[in-house]
Structure 1
Amino acid sequence: MKFETIFEDDKLIAINKPAGLLSIPDREGKEVSLKQILADKYGEIFTVHRLDKSTSGVIVFAKDKAAHAEISQLFESRTTEKIYYGLVHGSITPQSGKIEEPIMQHPSGNGKMILSSKGKPSFTEYEMLEDFRRFSWVKFKILTGRTHQIRIHSQFIGHSIVCDDLYGDGSSVLLSSLKKKYNLSKHEIEERPLLSRLALHSASLKFIFNEEEYSFEAPLPKDLKALLQQLRKLNN
């Protein structure tokens, strides 16, 4: 799977990860991961943070142990700025706010997270950028980096991320469900979804490392851009 290198020096590498590619190997180790691809090229590579398989956008890996320790500490101490964009179900009210709900692993160990007073403090700021009535285009700023944080916090406020099969209904976005008069073209046997992966994108990441400011950005991928264009067209 092709991906773009946003930035690289002797200490770290920033990648624009495509949706569908694992950040790091899973437990079974059957699927290729971005970390393994980078390790094959550079030798040793170190995980700083992760993106879900179906999330696209900026992700950073360290190239040596010292850089890994320092950059990881920046993430732990909340001195990084992480911005995501996502499409959620429904029209959000209020249109901006802060979600402060602690998160922990589900006791069953099924890969899901739950909100619990026993969990780790978790903070997400959100702002609705566009209202499509059935959906909202939202900017998220996460002040902590818990697993599935945006996904479970979005579910908590009643607006799960579109195509989320863990914290939402997981259903794909179909043009036929948005457009009243829709007919398959004569070349189609069945309708192709406008989107069938998690509608979440890691747009930018900033931090200060070795007294230098690092700032990385990843443009929206084609699938999310196309979906937004269609929603804007139907919204007019």
Structure 2
Amino acid sequence: MTQQHNVTESEANIRVDKLLSTMMTDASRSEIQSWIADGCVRVNGHHVKVNYKCQNGDVIEWMVPEPETLTIEPENIPLSVVYEDSDLLVVNKPRGMVVHPSAGHHHGALVNALLHHCDSLSHVNGEERPGIVHRIDKDTSGLLVVAKNDETHIHLAEQLSAKEMERQYEAIVHGVIEHETGMIDAPIGRDPNDRKKMGIVGNGKSAITHFRVLNRYRDFTHVECQLETGRTHQIRVHMKYIGFPVVGDPKYGQRKTRAVGGQALHAKSLAFKHPTTNEQLHFEVEAPAYFQELLSEFES
């Protein structure tokens, strides 16, 4: 469906890609630039370049392209299965693996491995995210629960929503945190200056992270974080917000950080009630080798 916007006097001299990015919060500026290059955007009936500066009274028309249809194929990828029964499984996702396929990551995702491993997965989140109840970032390692049927998925999702599922992470952050414990309560939403990032914004969604110091080093702190909510990049955004960004974080970390191949963040424990048996389950896995080696280096 074609959409239209009449440029106002206050919007004059703003680049067309930037103006559209303020109106379409679900699209990144680079996506909008590709739409302009593909001829999906017109100004006064004519195609324009991405750096065109809008004028008062201009009529911008655009049509959002149909999203790319992903065909997700089972792939024989090794899975670290911590627990499995007829309703669900708990896996330890390695760092560097995306949870579900997306543009630029069509293969090698956790979902591809799950489709090969399981005879059935829930369909609550659609064909592109079968079984996926919650996610962790590509370069974050650790525990995820996966639903094999819709009833299990709905039950687990309700526990997440009611804050009854416990998720603990451990991270290595820059700086020395003096407090033993703390709570970060700051709303998270899209960064208005960079649509590919999240940030602390007044109209964002409520986000609460609890942290506890595990160990202190000369320039770093090893912390345990517990999520009360589950916003995109929550721990990474919150730790940056209080001045202690996660080591190795390419998006929210310090410019000069340790090159460890991504953020030093690990989903170490997961606890929830089994949807069928009502048994309280608890799982915990050690951080990967790179994480342990970094801590050993700080201790030496």
Q: Is the 8 A contact 1:20 1:53 kept in 2?
A: yes
| 1:20 maps to 2:105 | no
Residue by residue over 1:4-43, the C-alpha shift from the partner in whole angstroms, topping out at 9 and shown as x without a partner, is: 1000011111111110011111233434210121013324
Match of 2:146 among 58, 61, 74: 61
Q: Does 1:201 align with 2:266?
A: yes
Deviation of 1:84 (Å): 0.4
Greater relative contact order (Cα 8 A, min sep 6): structure 1 or 2? 1
The 5 Å alignment of 1:108-147 reads: 110-147=195-232
Give the whole-Å Cα distance in 2 for the aligned partners of 1:125 and 1:159. Answer: 14
- Unaligned segments of structure 2, at least 5 residues: 1-76, 122-129
1:174-223 Cα offsets, whole Å, 9 max, x none, are xxxxxxxxxxxxxxxxxxx5x23210000001011331111111111111
CA RMSD of aligned residues (A): 1.7
Structure-2 separation of matches of 1:171 and 1:205: 32
Distance 1:81 1:170, change over 3 A: farther
Match of residue 221 from structure 1? 288
Provide the rounded CA distance (Å) in 2 between the counterparts of 1:217 and 1:98: 23
In the alignment, what sits opposite 2:109?
33
Letter in 1 for 2:266: H
Structure 2 length-normalised TM? 0.67
Matching of residues 86-125 of structure 1 within 5 Å = 86-107=171-192, 110-125=195-210
Q: Deviations over 1:133-184 (max 9, x none)?
A: 21100010111111100000000100000011111136552xxxxxxxxxxx
Tell me which stretches of 4 or more aligned residues in structure 1 moved more than 6 Å: none
- The reply on whether 1:161 has 2:246 as its aligned counterpart is yes
Equivalent in the alignment of 1:232:
299
Residue 82 of structure 1 aligns with which residue?
Answer: 167
- Kindly indicate whether the alpha-carbon contact (under 8 Å) linking 1:48 and 1:71 is maintained by their aligned counterparts in 2: yes
Cα 1:61–1:94 shift into 2, 3 Å: same
User: Percent of pairs identical after alignment?
Assistant: 32
Q: Helix, strand or coil for the counterpart of 1:78?
A: coil
Shift of 1:109: 7.2
Aligned partner of 2:158: which letter? Q
With over 3 angstroms needed to count, the CA separation of the structure-2 counterparts of 1:147 and 1:95, relative to structure 1, is same
Tell me if structure 2 keeps the 8 A contact 1:21–1:53.
yes
Aligned CA distance change for structure 1 residues 169 and 3 (closer, same or farther; 3 Å): farther
Q: Which has the larger radius of gyration?
A: 2
Q: Amino acid of the residue matched to residue 54 of structure 1?
A: D
Aligned residues: 213
User: CA 1:28/1:231 → structure 2, altered by over 3 Å: closer, same or farther?
Assistant: same
Q: What secondary structure is seen at the aligned counterpart in 2 of 1:112?
A: strand
How far is the alpha carbon of 1:108 from its aligned partner?
6.7
Amino acid at match of 1:213: Q
What secondary structure is seen at the aligned counterpart in 1 of 2:248? coil
Do the aligned partners of 1:163 and 1:170 also contact (CA within 8 Å) in 2?
no
Whole-Å separation in 2 of the counterparts to 1:170 and 1:52:
20
Q: Deviations over 1:32-59 (max 9, x none)?
A: 2101210133243411000100001111
Determine the C-alpha separation between the residues in 2 that align with 1:56 and 1:134.
Answer: 23
